[in-house]
């Protein structure tokens, strides 16, 4: 009889356990080593990573052909295309709702019971992937949803004008506001705004 661990070994013994005989000790057994993930989960996890890179992080180099040849080389193109489309749809639904763990569990359980849905093993892989990558995907979607540049930093100071066309404007205090605008991952541009303190004071007081 093949024994797969101390639990199975104990279960194979019938009757109550007896103390060891004098001078003899019970044999010690090493703790079972953690089992590696199922072989089929590895390509699926890599497929989810590729889909996320292309869909959420803008990596156009990860194509359908690349994923198929690297992860599922023996799968017919039509079969892989259907698998990729299914996983992409599930990821988009999960990411658009920014599901927490309870919502994710309910969603994936419903998908396993759905005709033509996913298996329990696939659901486990998807759950693990989302748990590890939820924050990065959510931040990427937030950045993509911004229509224009955002304010990164702002500084201001007060200067006195020393060179002007009209002499009566010399030594007039001026507020200089410097704003850094840009998107994440892109070069930041600097914008400078000069405003006479007399005008700014009127604006602040609503005159």
Give the tens place of pLDDT for each residue, 27-37. 454 554 444 44
| Whether residue 192 has pLDDT greater than 70 | no
Of the pLDDT bands very low, low, confident and very high (cuts 50, 70, 90), residue 163 is low
Query: Taking the domains of the chain in order of start, what are their residue ranges?
Result: 40-147, 151-181
The pLDDT mean for the chain works out to: 75
Question: Of 47, 49, 40, 39, which Cα lies nearest the Cα of 132?
Answer: 49
Token digits for 54? 């292309």
Residue 176 confidence (pLDDT)? 79
d(CA 176, CA 154): 11
Question: pTM for this one?
Answer: 0.55
Instruction: Give whichever of 125-134, 144-153, 160-169 has the largest mean pLDDT.
Output: 125-134
- Looking at residue 187, what DSSP letter applies? -
């Amino acid at each position: 009889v093949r024994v797969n661990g101390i639990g199975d070994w104990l279960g194979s013994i019938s009757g109550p356990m007896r103390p060891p005989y004098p001078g003899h000790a019970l044999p010690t057994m090493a703790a079972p080593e953690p089992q590696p993930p199922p072989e089929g989960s590895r390509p699926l996890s890599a497929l989810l990573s590729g889909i996320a890179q292309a869909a959420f992080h803008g990596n156009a180099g990860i194509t359908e052909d690349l994923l198929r040849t690297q992860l599922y080389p023996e799968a017919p193109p039509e079969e892989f295309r259907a698998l990729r489309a299914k996983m992409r749809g599930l990821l988009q639904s999960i990411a658009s709702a920014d599901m927490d763990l309870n919502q994710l569990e309910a969603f994936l359980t419903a998908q396993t019971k759905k005709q033509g849905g996913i298996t329990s093993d696939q659901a486990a892989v998807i759950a693990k992937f989302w748990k590890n990558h939820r924050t990065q995907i959510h931040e990427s979607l937030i950045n993509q949803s911004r229509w224009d540049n955002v304010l990164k930093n702002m500084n201001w100071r007060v200067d006195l004008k020393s060179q002007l066309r009209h002499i009566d404007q010399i030594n007039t205090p001026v507020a200089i506001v410097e704003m850094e605008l840009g998107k994440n991952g892109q070069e930041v541009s600097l914008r400078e705004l000069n405003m006479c303190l007399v005008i700014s004071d009127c604006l602040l007081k609503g005159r």
